[in-house]
């Protein structure tokens, strides 16, 4: 990448960036205080006014925002502009309650598209290339968010998720350079290539931009080696914007670079809310700096990560690999376990595929965890003999938790067309 590939935000000096952040933070805080009753009450309850924000450190004086706050103000109570200025609305599925609703002005959509283009170029893409977009379209922000690349010189194939055989056909026929998908759905597409007898390394694909769920470096290697492509991590969430809040650089592959000219990051203790210094792991928190329709103040993402110094973009900090979500934490007989911890161990065993799920039960007084994982295609009975006990022993050694291993045949577990549900909780009265 050359200097000419960088936009104006990426070319700012650190002093210019900090000055720009403070100016936009003051504007955002004033906007929500004057226009959003929820925030006015939250500020007043803490005895804070926009005039109290005189430095970036003062952000710690502001209230947190949680997903429940969006639900409590359903549908449009957190919007800071009238409806005639809202150009688009997205929403979550609402499977566990009221959906969270987010909105965008035309200006928000323009900035979103610009950040998607910035992310794709940083990931190794070039204007003029074709992108096969297998993120879900509709109310989910993934598909239509990434689709904004069409306004910045990229040809977008809006296939969405699902129709997996057709995904393979269009990749073969259209010959795209870039594919965007959740990492688990990209593995599902990989399975379909094998099912059709097509060598996945023979495609035109050069870059995979994967996100919307935590994934490990072991899964990255699986994707890169299987397709002979570069795979990078894109980060985002609908409450903050959608995909493109941060994206990894193909040059470094060392964690997503946060686009700090638009989003101010913090790491806090997930239990106390105390701000932690860069380099310590905690819960990732974002404040939007340039959003108009739904400015968000100190949104608690529940994603567990570390803030790291910038590399590919020295003035923009990076997010470490998301190690898990605070709401995905499983406490099994007193031991804290995240799905990503289990995934890392499973990848150490060559006969096992990346397809797995964790089943929680409580047959008596104690919780039990079973790891259901598929064998790879072509693995025979001799290789699988006793493997379940070896894997269980390794998990016990590494993670300190006892479990049973149930090795399934290829294709036995459900496949993801979006975010993979890793935890199946069958304990009565536990949700």
The confidence score (pLDDT) of residue 415 equals 83
pTM: 0.85
State mean pLDDT over 19-40.
Answer: 98
Task: Quick: pLDDT tens for 96-138.
Answer: 578 999 999 999 999 999 999 999 999 999 999 999 999 999 9
92: confidence class by pLDDT, cuts 50, 70, 90:
confident
The confidence score (pLDDT) of residue 330 equals 83
**Residue 116's CB: how many other CB atoms inside 10 A?**
29
- Characterize the bridge pairing of strands 404-408 and 368-375: parallel
The confidence score (pLDDT) of residue 430 equals 57
Q: Calculate the alpha carbon distances from 288 to 265, 285, 292, 329, 360 in Å.
A: 9, 10, 9, 27, 37
The confidence score (pLDDT) of residue 154 equals 98
Residue 327 pLDDT exceeds 80: no
Domains plus CATH for the chain? 1-323 (3.40.50.12780), 329-425 (3.30.300.30)
| Nearest CA-CA partner of 422 in 331, 341, 321 | 341
Highest mean pLDDT out of 27-31, 269-273, 419-423: 27-31
| Separation of alpha carbons 59 and 339, rounded Å | 32
Residue 10 pLDDT exceeds 80: yes
| Separation of alpha carbons 263 and 347, rounded Å | 34
Task: Quick: pLDDT tens for 397-419.
Answer: 999 899 999 999 999 998 877 77
The confidence score (pLDDT) of residue 431 equals 45
| Separation of alpha carbons 286 and 266, rounded Å | 6
Q: What is the DSSP letter of 275?
A: B
The SS3 call for residue 138 is: coil
Q: To 5 degrees, how large is the angle CA 84–CA 87–CA 92?
A: 115
Task: Quick: pLDDT tens for 376-389.
Answer: 999 999 999 999 99
- Percentage of the chain surpassing pLDDT 90? 83
What is the per-residue DSSP string for 283-343?
Answer: EEEEEESS-SSS--SSEEEEEEE-EE--SSSTTS-EEPPP-EEGGG-EEETTEEE-HHHHH
State mean pLDDT over 45-70.
Answer: 97
């Amino acid at each position: 990448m050359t200097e000419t590939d960088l936009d104006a935000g990426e070319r700012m000096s650190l002093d210019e960036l900090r000055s720009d952040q403070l100016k936009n933070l003051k504007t955002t805080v004033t906007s929500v205080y004057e226009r959003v009753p929820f925030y006015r009450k939250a500020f007043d309850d803490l005895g804070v006014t926009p005039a109290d924000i005189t430095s970036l450190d003062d952000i710690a004086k502001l209230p947190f925002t949680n997903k429940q706050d969006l639900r409590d103000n359903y549908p449009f109570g957190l919007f800071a502009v009238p409806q005639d200025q809202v150009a688009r609305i997205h929403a979550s599925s609402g499977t566990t309650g009221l959906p969270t609703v987010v909105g965008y002005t035309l200006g928000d959509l323009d900035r979103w598209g610009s950040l998607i283009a910035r992310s794709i170029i940083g990931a190794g893409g070039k204007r003029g290339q074709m992108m096969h977009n297998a993120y879900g379209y509709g109310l989910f922000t993934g598909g239509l968010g990434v689709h904004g690349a069409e306004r910045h010189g990229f040809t977008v194939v809006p296939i969405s998720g699902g129709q997996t055989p057709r995904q393979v056909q269009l990749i073969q026929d259209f010959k795209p350079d870039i594919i965007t998908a959740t990492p688990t759905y990209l593995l599902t597409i990989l399975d379909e290539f094998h099912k059709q007898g097509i060598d996945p390394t023979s495609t035109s694909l050069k870059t995979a931009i994967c996100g919307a769920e935590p994934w490990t470096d072991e899964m990255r290697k699986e994707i890169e080696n299987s397709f002979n492509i570069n795979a990078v991590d894109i980060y985002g969430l609908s409450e903050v914007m959608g995909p493109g809040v941060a994206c990894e650089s193909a040059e470094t592959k060392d964690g997503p670079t946060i686009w700090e000219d638009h989003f101010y990051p913090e790491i806090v203790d997930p239990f106390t809310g105390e701000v932690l210094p860069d380099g310590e792991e905690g819960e990732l928190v974002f404040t939007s700096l340039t959003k108009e329709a739904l400015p968000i103040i100190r949104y608690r993402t529940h994603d567990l990560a570390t803030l790291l110094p910038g590399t590919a973009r020295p003035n923009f900090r990076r997010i470490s690999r998301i190690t898990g979500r605070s709401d995905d934490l499983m406490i099994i007989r007193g031991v804290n376990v995240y799905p990503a911890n289990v995934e890392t161990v499973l990848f150490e065993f060559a006969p096992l595929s990346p397809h797995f799920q964790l089943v929680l039960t409580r047959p008596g007084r104690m919780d039990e965890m079973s790891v259901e994982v598929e064998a790879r295609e072509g693995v025979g009975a001799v290789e699988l003999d006793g493997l379940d006990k070896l894997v269980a022993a390794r998990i016990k050694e590494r993670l300190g938790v006892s479990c049973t291993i149930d090795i399934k045949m290829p294709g036995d577990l459900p496949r993801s067309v979006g975010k993979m549900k890793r935890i199946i909780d069958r304990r009565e009265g536990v949700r």
